[in-house]
Amino acid sequence: MRVAILASGSGSNAAALMHCFSATEGVDVVLVGSNRSGAGVLEKAQQAGVSSIHFTSDDLAGGVLLKKLKTVNVDWVLLAGFLLQIPIEFCRAFENKILNIHPSLLPKFGGKGMYGMNVHRAVFEAAEKESGMTIHYVNECFDEGEIVFQGRIDVSQLTSAEEISSEVLKLEHEYYPRVASALILDSKTPVK
């Protein structure tokens, strides 16, 4: 199975995925893409020996990125801190083959503008006793695809949004590669 990873930031989850798949028979990360030209994820891809590209929001919306992924025969797309909405045509082309990781227990604290520290601050300010991360299939609506897995932690004793962020990130790095790997290896059917 040929995998593309899309990310907008530093790429710690992308790095965890690339590390996992480098030792996983039957799964190859063939491309890492970012909508930010200076994103750390592009450097992490280079360090891992994976091809990388920068693309614009217009490239995503206009089908240029989709065409590129088809050209390199991508079977699965994994979003790892990717901040742009995925167009419906893209979702249809990779139906049930696009995963995202979100730093809360969806449906809580999801939707437009809810990413990164925005989520953790909202969780902290709401005095939630529990938080975590959600892995879900992607559809054309922010954070509304079918939930595949949730990892939970007790945050009632944590004293800041930064502490919540740190603990949730540990869950993400532990579970995203494992869950994605299991789903990808179980699918066995390349995208046409």
Give one word for 188, left, alpha or beta, with left for phi > 0 and alpha for psi -120 to 50.
left
What does R_g of the chain's alpha carbons equal in angstroms?
16
Contacts of 27 (CB under 8 A, 6+ apart): 1, 3, 21, 181, 184, 185
Beta strands in 25-156 (DSSP E): 28-34, 52-54, 76-79, 98-102, 130-137, 147-154
Reported residue count of the chain is: 192
- For the question of residue 19 being annotated catalytic, the response is no
Instruction: Point out the catalytic residue in the list 19, 102, 136, 173.
Output: 102
16: DSSP letter? H
Residues annotated catalytic, as ranges: 102
